[in-house]
Amino acid sequence: MSSHRHPPGSFEPPRQAREVSDGIYAYIQPDGSWWINNTGFLVGRRGVISVDACATQRRTQAYLDTIATVTDQPVRTLVNTHHHGDHTFGNYLFPTATIVGYEGIREGIAAWGAPRDLPLWTPVDWGDIELEPPFLTFTETIKLYVDDLETQVQYIGTPAHTTNDSVLWVPDRRVLFSGDVIFNGGTPFLVQGSVSGMLVALARIRELNPEVIVPGHGPVTDPAIVERLEGYVRFVQDVAARGRAAGLTPLETAREVDLGEYADLLDSERIVGNLHRAYAELDGLPPGGPINLQAAIADMIAFNGGQPLSCYA
């Protein structure tokens, strides 16, 4: 289940970033499990663009301190890749930044609300978070420039990980900040988005033809990840179709299935939530349509032996 795959102890926020292309940095937080996201930043002569914030006050401050080891320029633009709190709760610690995001992110942030301990996860020290959603929004794409370097923030075009996913693409460098459309080493999480839509989103990423991908969780990777994730998504669809045909609930199906090559991905209990979404799509629910989230969450806990899922944020 979830916890035994993690080494014992907690995961401290890193104090350094990795330069993946000239002036473009990935900030990778181990181990990439629940609520431990990646961010990144692009450094210009007179300002910085940040891609996402972190989940807690402590982690976002450590990230800001890391930016300050690279440049003394202020963060003038903060891009959110989607509404999830691990990418947006720290937004309020960027007082000099215009916060940019796909229009639907605002609704997602408002719907989830302020950070709080929930039965799904082990408790977290969130800090004094104030919700600060994007206040410059777009519906398809927006260009941001780092000096003369063009970047594009693109809505992925379909519900996938959520209903409001976007990526930051740097065409001249073939660097992609994918948000949570790509997990590297963690189980994809499709409960709040779409299983079939994720395949569309991954195809779109393949079309971009990136060389370097900074995923939303897990180590920096390359385009080979796309095929691996497509394999997982199709696996979920197949398992759902067989389970539904056999008259099993998503939880019963999850308990019976051999995760095979996906068993080593972190947070494997997400299979249950993903099956809830896949079942709903087999029943005709359009991508991103509403499902019973509480039931999906309760089943993930049940799959985890009744224990809250491990959260090291």
Residues that bind Zn ion (CB under 5 A): 84, 180
Q: How far is CA 196 from CA 1, 20, 35, 162, 200, in A?
A: 25, 31, 24, 12, 7
In this structure, is the dihedral angle defined by the CA atoms of residues 156, 170, 80 and 37, taken in order, positive or negative? positive
Smallest separation (angstroms) from Zn ion to the CB of 96: 25
DSSP state of 143: E
Structure tokens at 148: 């003369």
Q: CA 148 to CA 85: how far, in whole Å?
A: 31
Nearer to Zn ion, 84 or 173 (CB): 84
Smallest separation (angstroms) from Zn ion to the CB of 139: 20
Nearer to Zn ion, 94 or 183 (CB): 183
Smallest separation (angstroms) from Zn ion to the CB of 52: 10
Nearer to Zn ion, 86 or 248 (CB): 86
Nearer to Zn ion, 83 or 173 (CB): 83
Smallest separation (angstroms) from Zn ion to the CB of 3: 20
Nearer to Zn ion, 13 or 193 (CB): 193
Q: How far is CA 163 from CA 5, 47, 183, in A?
A: 29, 30, 17
Smallest separation (angstroms) from Zn ion to the CB of 216: 6
Smallest separation (angstroms) from Zn ion to the CB of 19: 25
Nearest to residue 134, comparing CAs of 76, 58, 83? 83
Helix (H, G, I), strand (E, B) or coil at 116: coil
Q: CA 182 to CA 106: how far, in whole Å?
A: 21
Smallest separation (angstroms) from Zn ion to the CB of 85: 9
Nearer to Zn ion, 180 or 281 (CB): 180
Structure tokens at 251: 């939880």
299 CB contacts (<8 Å, ≥6 apart)?
249, 250, 251, 254, 272, 273, 276
The 10 Å CB-count burial string (b at 16+, else e) for 191-221 is bbbbbbbbbebbebbeebebebbbbbbbebb
Nearer to Zn ion, 106 or 255 (CB): 106
Counting Cα atoms < 13 Å in the Cβ hemisphere of 211 gives 8
Nearer to Zn ion, 199 or 241 (CB): 199
Smallest separation (angstroms) from Zn ion to the CB of 262: 18
